[in-house]
Amino acid sequence: MGRVICVANQKGGVGKTTTSLNLAVLLAVAGQRTLLVDLDPQCNATTGLGHSPTARHALVDSRPLREAFVQTYQPGLSLLAGSRSFQDVDAMAKSSATHATMLATHLTGSLGSFDTVLIDCPPSLGALTRTALASASEVLMPIQCEYFAMEGLTQMIEVIRQVINRPESRLTFGGILLTMYDAALELTAEVDREVREFFGEVVFQTCIPRDVAVSEAPSHGRSVVDHAPRSRGARAYLELCQEVLDRV
């Protein structure tokens, strides 16, 4: 199996979906057979690629998972669309031991044809995120450059550590990504310094700037590179993609 990168943070609005979508498109552009899995009930990764959410998520459906893969506008990039219903996932959360194991097996068993799989997680530490972490080989954690950036980070790191320490786990810390970066703000510089001092080389050199083009792109069903190829956000995600490829 190739790389399975779980994009996760318990906080919302930190750039998980934006990063998942743009990185998935650029990995496909780089020649990687790529799959984007939308595990967030908000389904923003699905709509951000110009597709509609499904009535029932394929991960809890009875049909073979590969039948649910949708080809996107970008050659080489497939999508496992999200669902806003998620009744089956709610049921899974109520009986997490059995269902989470079943879901992880279902997920990992159908990904052999891809070089890279990105999993866009919901903003929580619930059953979906934990299952995604258990199925992944790496976790990429976006952190917004704001006052509360470190809030709850200890809990997220502890959950990641618990998964890494499982005997059957192959999860590693793939990297921390600073998002919504504004070099003109002193607070941004403080967050940058604190995160890099604490986590060291785990932090990506690339920072994703505040850029309206990054926010506008999903409304057009495209990545920022397709929507505004000369924008600061597009350049930043190109640099991030190269870093991700270099960290194999």
What does the alpha-carbon distance between residue 41 and residue 185 come to, in Å, rounded to a whole number? Answer: 33
Q: Are 209 and 236 in contact (CB under 8 A)?
A: yes
pLDDT score for 112: 76
The domain covering 3-246 belongs, at the CATH homologous superfamily level, to P-loop containing nucleotide triphosphate hydrolases (3.40.50.300)
Q: What angle do CA 173, 174, 178 make, to 5 degrees?
A: 105
Please say if the pLDDT value at position 98 is more than 70.
Answer: no
What is the tens place of the pLDDT at every residue in 53-75? 998 888 777 778 888 999 999 99
pLDDT score for 94: 55
Render the burial of 152-162: b for 16+ CB within 10 Å, e for the rest: ebeebeebbee
Q: Residue 95: pLDDT band by 50, 70, 90 thresholds?
A: very low
pLDDT score for 101: 64
**Mean pLDDT over each residue of the chain, to the nearest integer:** 88
| Average pLDDT over every residue of 128-145 | 90
pLDDT score for 126: 82
pLDDT score for 215: 94
Please say if the pLDDT value at position 179 is more than 90.
Answer: yes
What does the alpha-carbon distance between residue 217 and residue 189 come to, in Å, rounded to a whole number? Answer: 27
- Listed by start position, the domains of the chain span 3-246
| Average pLDDT over every residue of 35-44 | 92
What does the alpha-carbon distance between residue 83 and residue 122 come to, in Å, rounded to a whole number? Answer: 12
